[in-house]
Amino acid sequence: MPVQSCETLAKKKCLPCEGGVDPINPDEAAEQLQEHPGWRLTHDGKRIRKDWVVKNFMAGMKFFEACAEVAEADGHHPDLHLEGYRNVSVELWTHAIGGLSENDFILAAKIDQLPIDLK
């Protein structure tokens, strides 16, 4: 996958993935993440994750609702984590291939455009 700006990725739509394609290797993913401030590789380069500290519990729930709407529209669904009532995280990977695809970076770019009420 060639490195793309978040602006370019956010204009794309996630494509259905039923497997049969190779995941993006961790080195390529790390290069792409240079365009995604705050996102990092996890699980041996098979997932990306970003963490935020929000103002309060309801700010986290509101952010997750916005994430859910964007994810559902693209048919690509993240793991959403809430810990300690204000610590929110989003983790992305393409389940069908057990690693990262362009879809993960598309959704990350769209999530970064969402409003979030930070601490």
The domain total for the chain is 1
Whole-number Cα distances in Å, 64 to 15, 59, 111: 22, 9, 10
Comparing C-alpha atoms, which of 37, 21, 5 is closest to residue 100?
21
User: Taking the CA of residue 84 as centre, how many other CA atoms within 13 Å lie in the half-sphere pointing to its CB?
Assistant: 9
Comparing C-alpha atoms, which of 59, 69, 29 is closest to residue 46?
29
- The 10s digit of each residue's pLDDT in 70-116 is 999 999 999 999 999 999 999 999 999 999 999 999 999 999 999 99
- Residue 15 scores a pLDDT above 90: no
The CATH number covering residue 88 comes to 3.30.1360.20
User: For residue 7, is it within any domain?
Assistant: no
pTM of the model: 0.95
- The 10s digit of each residue's pLDDT in 30-56 is 999 999 999 999 999 999 999 999 999
Q: Output the 3-class SS for 68-87.
A: HHHHHHHCCCCEEEEECCCE
User: For residue 44, is it within any domain?
Assistant: yes
User: For residue 40, is it within any domain?
Assistant: yes
